[in-house]
């Protein structure tokens, strides 16, 4: 019985962690969609996401990605909270950069 309860608890935890991350990425995607595309689209055309996959992209690792998102966010003046920055970083990393954290 004990074993069953702890396995259920472990499953529950695994599930909630998994969805928290997916939620984060979805949230980041929405924030990015609403705030970040216009400038980038002017620069590279399309929906601007070519900026993240171009050969000479500037971001080279995870920390750099965090710094760049902070920089662009500062230029934009949205005053995002840390969790919003993290969500956008999570989205960009999952979708385009795929660095190890």
What is the rounded CA–CA span in Å between residue 7 and residue 12? Answer: 8
90 binds ligand HEC (CB under 6 A): no
Range in contact with ligand HEC (rule: CB under 6 A) among 6-14, 16-24, 68-76: 68-76
Range in contact with ligand HEC (rule: CB under 6 A) among 1-9, 10-18, 19-27, 58-66: 58-66
Contact 66, 60 (CB under 8 A): no
What is the rounded CA–CA span in Å between residue 26 and residue 5? Answer: 31
- Residue from the set 3, 4, 5, 58 that interacts with ligand HEC by CB under 6 A: 58
- Residue from the set 36, 66, 87, 90 that interacts with ligand HEC by CB under 6 A: 36
């Amino acid at each position: 019985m004990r074993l069953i309860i702890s396995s259920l608890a472990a499953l529950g935890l695994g599930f909630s962690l998994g969805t928290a991350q997916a939620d984060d990425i979805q949230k980041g995607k929405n924030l990015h969609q609403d705030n970040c595309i216009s400038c980038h689209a002017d620069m590279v055309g399309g929906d601007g996401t070519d900026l993240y996959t171009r050969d000479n992209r500037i971001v080279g690792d995870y920390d750099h990605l965090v710094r760049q998102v902070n920089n662009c966010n500062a230029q934009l003046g949205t005053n995002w909270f840390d969790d919003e920055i993290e969500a956008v970083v999570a989205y960009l990393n999952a979708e385009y950069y795929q660095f190890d954290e």
